[in-house]
Amino acid sequence: MLDKSVFTPHGKHLIAGDWVAGEATFASEPAHGPAHDFSMGTPALVDRACVAAEEAFWTYAYSTREERAAFLNAIADEIEARAEAITEIGTQESGLPEARLQGERGRTTGQLRLFASHILKGDYLDRRHDVALPDRAPAPRPDLKMVQRPIGPVAVFGASNFPLAFSTAGGDTASALAAGCPVVVKGHSAHPGTAEIVAEAIHAAIAKCGVHPGVFSLIQGGKRDVGTALVQHPLIKAVGFTGSLGGGRALFDLCAARPEPIPFFGELGSVNPMFLLPEATKARGGEIAKGWAGSLTMGAGQFCTNPGIAVVIEGPEADAFIEASTKALEPVGAQTMLTDGIAAAYRAGRDRVAGAAGVQALLTSMCDLRNATPYLFATTGKEWLANAALGEEVFGPLGLIVRVSDVDEMEQVARSLHGQLTCTLHLDAGDTALGQRLMPVLERKAGRVLANGFPTGVEVCESMVHGGPYPASTNFGATSVGTLAIRRFLRPVCYQNMPDALLPGDLR
């Protein structure tokens, strides 16, 4: 295991097995601890990485599932070997507590091992075979086989809010590598030291497994032209992104405008509304309020599944829920946000909500610099329906309670939603009829619908869907969490009357 006390970032890019220093540098902006200098990415480095990724594709895409599974497991092993160093610099850069980084590291290695296990099973290949019918009239049928094949080099953008699980070796990288696609990562400038250590782990796994070094590159920092060069590079065949709606939409448009348009799998955030149905609110509104407060403020509210909206029917039970929510949030102290920019955006979002017509402040506090404290506001269903801006995400621990007049207005609010990652129903047995009425709306709005729970905490498993209609994500048929994520980086190929010797190994 590496000694965390002696780790100092060297600040270089990893380009196809070589650690490369750039001409310009940028300084990290840690929440605490020393700042470090890192080389700044350039379009020229992007080109070098993409060319190497294409070269690697011709061997890596035709490697066996057993070889790729061993590679994924080796990456997980190498990350664990650097556990202390990752936690040390990760907490410095992000301000996240050690326990959170340790848990996220476990999730990251767990994803890698899950995809290793998944590809060994082979179900993801969706193999199909229609045997030849030479005597069929009026026309014979040829022998047809189909299998999913890797698409080519994939670009991955590291996320600000998950230095490990959605970044250098996160879910996008793991699923692309599992599919047989080389990866070029654009590291996030919020945690370059963490990215560097994880890249060292991948570099070590490449050497251990004898994989072509072009299978992975990390480009640190850089201005907007670096991201533009990456998504527009003709050798890149798909993009994975987790981040803001504005940044994601700009990259999505660039992908669509290419001479050869490519898929952009952007997870762009959500307000994740909860609908409190009458019987549940009456029986356990206080319990729901406490759970909501915990979910809303977890990690300073910096989760894309943060449940920012609670919809409740007007009446004494709604008043009690509002009072309980306020009391549950009052003791929550200031938490460090991931970056100064995210903290500034949180304050701007708070001011936008507070200044909207018909919005009542229930809990206010003082937050400055990189700190965040919870805010709670309330409005009516009528005001919500009249002001679409109230449905825009505020990234941080801010909650908005929407008091609707009746079940009809609750359904109107549900129908007014944009695409969401999650929607939640809090209901008891007596709420079943209303739940049945809302479900067709909610399943059309969200990628994951919950009952009597809270959406923070996304299980990494076979069934998970972390995506949804736009603007939650740019591709409603995809997920960025769970084994189905591998399908983003595959395409079906049909082989007609093909001799076995020429078929992919998985079809022989």
For 209-273, strand residue ranges (E) read: 216-219, 238-242, 264-267
Cα 239 from chain centre: 13
CA dihedral over 171, 176, 177, 182, signed as positive or negative: negative
Is residue 43 reached through a cis peptide bond, with omega within 30 degrees of 0 on the bond before it? no
Burial degree of 119 (CB within 10 A; 0-12, 13-18, 19+): buried
Whole-angstrom distance, CA of residue 61 vs CA of residue 182: 8
Closest CA to 250 of 157, 343, 154, 348: 157
Whole-angstrom distance, CA of residue 400 vs CA of residue 248: 25
The H or E element spanning position 350 is helix 340-354
Strands 446-451 and 420-426: parallel
Among 200, 267, 317, 409, the active-site one is 267
Among 255, 304, 367, 423, the active-site one is 304
Tokens encoding 178: 């599992």
Closest CA to 369 of 339, 331, 332, 399: 339
AA letter at 430? G
Closest CA to 301 of 420, 456, 422, 87: 456
Q: What is the largest CA-CA distance in the chain?
A: 80
The residues, ordered by sequence, that sit 6+ positions from 313 with a Cβ below 8 Å of its Cβ are: 276, 278, 281, 403, 404, 405, 406, 407, 410
Three-class secondary structure of residue 198 per DSSP: helix
Whole-angstrom distance, CA of residue 232 vs CA of residue 255: 6
Tokens encoding 284: 């356990």
Q: Please give, one letter per residue, the 3-state secondary structure of 134-188.
A: CCCCCCCECCEEEEEEECCCEEEECCCCCCCCCCCCCHHHHHHHHHCCCEEEECC
Three-class secondary structure of residue 423 per DSSP: strand
* 35, 119, 307 from 93: Cα distances, Å: 9, 34, 26
Whether residue 304 lies in the annotated active site: yes
DSSP bridge partners of 155: 184, 239
Whole-angstrom distance, CA of residue 269 vs CA of residue 304: 5
Whole-angstrom distance, CA of residue 286 vs CA of residue 176: 44
Whether residue 461 lies in the annotated active site: no
Catalytic residue numbers read 267, 304
